[in-house]
Structure 1
Amino acid sequence: MGLNHEFYLISKTTVIKDFWIHRESSNDVIESVVIHDDVIQYIMDSLKWIPSQNPAMRGNPSGRGINYHGVTLFDKPSSKTLIGIFSSWKNLFKNATASFVLTGAYVYGGTLKS
């Protein structure tokens, strides 16, 4: 089956802790998408360009990229970069055949290959 990453567009007035517990029944979800981990891994370098915040850390510090194992917050200023990156990947994938395989960096015999 594999790992899937869930992304939610919610209001900035949403209480994150409460939302996460009740996200399936929450009325705070404006939009959502699920992306398989293989795709996330493939595009990870470009995700590191997105300004973000990590609510799992004290003080909700600002940084870049996604919290791979938890919640990541993107604010309005982040949205321009976020939309640009995902739109670019979407446009690239639209040129692929109906069925395709993503190949990225892998380890074979102790040497990193691409």
Structure 2
Amino acid sequence: MSLLHDFLLREEGTHRYEDHRAWMNAPQALHLHDDVVQYLNDTLLWIPALNPATRKCPMEPVQGLCHYGPTIINRSGGRIAAQIFQHWADLFACGPEQMVLTGGWCTEPDGRQHYNKLEVQRDPLVSTLRTLATWARQAEAGSHFIYHWGI
């Protein structure tokens, strides 16, 4: 199983939210590693979104990204998503070229416990977050939506 979250920009009215399976593993997708998504998750939970995998009509609203499945960020969550992605990009741009972030709590087989250390290259991460912010502004305008597929 891939530990990447994929993001795609799609045009409103041209692509149906329910066609999410057609976009799995799209080569043109932006990727964020699950460790980074987990690091950002407290703030990603503030984004109003939709879950296209439910059979409910209208589609089920959710808060944040569906970790193991699809999520749609459209006009309703575009403004908040744009702000969150842009602010994270601006914050990480202040960091060193090779950033070390505090990851999740883990227990080793010998019983030792510690926080994982996430090593992340600054520039690719900042670039991806800035692109997501730009896409979210397009979603806010109503012309596009962001399709997310979890791990």
Q: Residues of 1 paired with 2:44 and 2:23: CA distance?
A: 27
Alpha-carbon distance, 1:18 to partner: 4.2
Q: Secondary structure at the match of 2:62?
A: strand
Listed as ranges, the gaps of 5+ residues in structure 2 are 116-151
Number of equivalenced pairs:
109
**Greater strand percent: which structure?**
2
Indicate if the aligned counterparts of 2:47 and 2:64 stay in contact, CA closer than 8 A: yes
State the match for 1:92 in structure 2. Answer: 91
* Equivalent AA in structure 2 for residue 10 of structure 1: R
Q: Percent identity?
A: 31
Residue 7 in structure 1 maps to residue 7 in structure 2: yes
Listed as ranges, the gaps of 5+ residues in structure 1 are none
CA RMSD of superposed structures (Å): 2.9
Aligned counterpart for 1:35 among listed residues 32, 35, 53: 32
State the match for 1:63 in structure 2. Answer: 62
7-16 vs 77-86, which moves further: 7-16
Q: Residues of 2 paired with 1:102 and 1:61: CA distance?
A: 33
Q: Secondary structure at the match of 2:100?
A: coil
TM-score, normalised on structure 2? 0.61
State the match for 1:72 in structure 2. Answer: 71
Higher relative contact order (CA 8 A, sep 6+): 2
State the match for 1:51 in structure 2. Answer: 48
TM-score, normalised on structure 1? 0.78
State the match for 1:101 in structure 2. Answer: 100
